[in-house]
Amino acid sequence: MIKVTQKIVLPLSEIKFTFIVSPGPGGQNVNKTATTAQLRFNVLHSPSLPEEIRARLMALLGKKITGQGELLIKASRHRTQERNKQDALARLCQLIKRAAMPQRVRKKTKPTWASRQDRLTTKKRHGVKKALRRDKGE
């Protein structure tokens, strides 16, 4: 069981790990050991996620989710399988925590009187400058 927040707990049975050979530099050892952790988590069909958080997570991830509703996280920062596995789990928890925080509602504001006056004087100055150019050309 992975405790993401106080209300959200993910059982390990919902998370699938596969290990693949790491790409990039690393000498001869990189071709022999499968250290990159690939985490698969089905966001669409997970019973552990509340419906509102699932919707926010789907919107947050967008194109990172496969057609079947699976989130795929690839972790290859570290040299060992275990550390890459922990890194992938931490990234999954971070994404779910971000989706669990409700967005603040934006309050509409009006421009202040001074800012409106400032905008109008700037426009007036700009118009005067253009008018002076026009008079010289004729």
Residues 90 and 113 in one domain: no
Query: Both 23 and 48 in a single domain?
Result: yes
Q: In total, how many domains does the chain have?
A: 2
Q: Indicate if 79 and 135 belong to the same structural domain.
A: no
- Residue 135, pLDDT score: 66
Contact 38, 19 (CB under 8 A): yes
- Judgement on whether residues 79 and 114 belong to the same structural domain of the protein: no
pLDDT tens figures, 74-88: 888 887 778 888 888
Whether residue 107 has pLDDT greater than 70: yes
Query: What global pTM score does this model have?
Result: 0.65
**pLDDT at residue 113 in the model:** 96
pLDDT of residue 28: 66
CATH of the domain at 86: 3.30.160.20
Q: Are residues 83 and 136 in the same domain?
A: no
- Are 33 and 90 members of one domain? yes
Domain ranges, residue 132: 108-138
Do 45 and 66 reside in the same domain of the chain?
yes
**Residue 71 pLDDT class (50, 70, 90 cuts):** confident
Report the C-alpha dihedral over residues 90, 29, 23, 39, rounded to 10 degrees.
Answer: -30
Q: What is the pLDDT of residues 13-68, one digit of tens each?
A: 778 888 887 765 666 666 677 778 888 888 788 777 888 888 888 888 878 788 88
Mean pLDDT of 90-109: 86
Are residue 14 and residue 80 in the same domain, yes or no? yes
Looking at residue 136, its pLDDT comes to 64
Q: Are residues 7 and 58 in the same domain?
A: yes
**Residue of 50, 52, 64 lying closest to 92 (CA atoms):** 64
- Answer yes or no: do 74 and 119 share one domain: no
For the cut 60, the answer to whether the pLDDT of residue 116 exceeds it is yes
21: left (phi over 0), alpha (psi -120 to 50) or beta: beta
Query: Does one domain contain both 31 and 90?
Result: yes
